[in-house]
Amino acid sequence: MEAKEWKETLLMEKKNGYDRMPAGEREAMETYCQGYKAFMNAARTERECVREGIRLAEEKGFRAYERGMKLKAGDRVYRNNRDKMLLLAVIGQKSLAEGVQIAAAHIDSPRLDLKPSPLYEDSELAYLKTHYYGGIRKYQWVTVPLEIHGVVALKDGKSVDVVIGEGDEPKLVVNDLLPHLAGEQRKKTLDEGIAGEQLNILAGSEPMEGEEKDRVKLAVMKRLYEKYGFTEADFISAELEAVPAARAMDIGLDASMVGAYGQDDRVCGYAALKALLDLGEIPGRTAVCVLADKEEIGSVGVSGMNTKAFDTFMEDLCDSQDVPVRACLEKSFCLSADVTAAYDPNFGDAYEKRNASFLNYGVGLCKYTGSRGKSGASDASAELVAYVRRIFDDSGVIWQMAELGRVDAGGGGTVAGFMANRNIDTLDAGVPVLAMHAPFEVTAKLDCYMAYKGMAAVYRN
């Protein structure tokens, strides 16, 4: 190695992405982020992500894949798993026996779910009780305007889509205590300041005429019935999610960042989806995009990454070429596309600066996640990290090496382990996020765009 070469490499890895990105890419980055923000505004829940994903995919020639369908190179197919998980594939030129290139992201995000019996009245105010979903810091979810999105399944088999608070419609909110009376509350830890059972959503205050008891609650229920046609008992078979009302927007005087709810992990979900839809030529190996549900509560259930629905989809694809699925998976590669923690100088102590990811330094590769001695991590092999370095560099992807935070500061997991368990070589990579899991998260446009370029590089290789 020439002395010059090793020096250049050192500098390269410590350079801000804006010093490395060709000037001609600025416009493509901006256009990409416009599309990303539109997606975020259209898709506030996992169900809405699936619906919007299918709409975008069908526009680009994808069709629903049924078992037994004949497939040829270039075919574009998707499978909708119960409206909450979306699997898509572009069939490659090579046999599935050569393996597939997978990008797997999750489309569920932390939020407040309504309880099965949510509506009640107290002191002539109507409230909805919630059970939070995912790892939230409860104090962040008070005094934030909320909407409710979801579905109510009626006993007759019909389902009603519910969107409360969109556009100019009235919003909902969880209140906090005024500082003047917070003498006791302020002595509590951040964790204890707002309790789970205090995350009750204010839903109404006007009493219904002619009633004696629970007049405000009745007025709220009447409105719901008139607008959506469901009754109080129907809450029992509903999935109603309170999500922040704020739209996706540019952040910073230079508009270099995106602020939105649910960027963990829709920022990677959109990148994985968009890169697949935009695939120009027919790839060598088949390209697969997975948008999974339930990552935030352990990738559980029939729509989480542990589901056999993924294996079934892969088996169906393999059956069409008479290839054993196990032979396909052992030669496959998966980029577990999930966000990482961006270094925040306001909370520098939580990070180890030499190994942290930074805004505008590109998509972050994470060899391992986990906590307390990498526990729970899938820990990709050195060879696999080298492979991704190579394909990213060859495709002009700006990337950085990332660790989630200071050793023993905490930790987290992704879908990587569940893919690796299937005998698929898997590496974590994703967009660095500020204030992850907060009702409003921040990413850098450059990193969002580089995630998209990274996914495209995976599909093409």
User: Which burial class, exposed, middle or buried, applies to 86 when counting CB atoms under 10 A from its CB (0-12, 13-18, 19+)?
Assistant: buried
142 φ/ψ angles, rounded to the nearest 5 degrees = -90, 155
Residue of the chain from 52, 265, 344, 425 that contacts Mn ion (CB under 5 A) = 265
CB 441 within 8 A of CB 435: yes
Dihedral angle computed from the Cα positions of residues 220, 222, 228 and 232, in that order, rounded to the nearest 10 degrees: 80
Least Å distance, CB 436 to Mn ion, is 6
Least Å distance, CB 108 to Mn ion, is 9
Residue of the chain from 46, 264, 315, 441 that contacts Mn ion (CB under 5 A) = 264
Question: Which residue of this chain has its Cβ atom nearest to Mn ion in the complex?
Answer: 265
Judged by beta carbon, residue 92 or residue 454, the one nearer Mn ion is 454
Q: Contact region for Mn ion (CB under 5 A) — 24-32, 258-266, 328-336, 351-359?
A: 258-266
Judged by beta carbon, residue 294 or residue 453, the one nearer Mn ion is 294
Least Å distance, CB 338 to Mn ion, is 4
Least Å distance, CB 106 to Mn ion, is 6
Under rule CB under 5 A, how many of the chain's residues touch Mn ion?
A: 3
Site string for Mn ion, 322-341 (x = CB under 5 A): ----------------x---
Look at phi and psi of residue 413 and say left if phi exceeds 0, alpha if psi is from -120 to 50, else beta. Answer: beta
Judged by beta carbon, residue 91 or residue 334, the one nearer Mn ion is 334
Judged by beta carbon, residue 108 or residue 425, the one nearer Mn ion is 108
- Residue 428 interacts with Mn ion (CB under 5 A)? no
* 316, HSE (Cβ side, Cα atoms, 13 Å): 20
Helix axes 445-460, 263-277, angle to 10 degrees: 50
Distance, in Å, from the CA atom of 20 to the CA atom of 26, rounded to the nearest integer, reads: 11
Judged by beta carbon, residue 265 or residue 447, the one nearer Mn ion is 265
Least Å distance, CB 192 to Mn ion, is 22
CB 128 within 8 A of CB 172: yes
Neighbours of 405 (CB within 10 A): 21
Judged by beta carbon, residue 76 or residue 274, the one nearer Mn ion is 274
Least Å distance, CB 190 to Mn ion, is 19
Neighbours of 319 (CB within 10 A): 15
Helix axes 26-42, 263-277, angle to 10 degrees: 120
Judged by beta carbon, residue 328 or residue 427, the one nearer Mn ion is 427
Sign of CA dihedral 445, 450, 456, 459: negative
Binding site for Mn ion (CB under 5 A): 264-265, 338
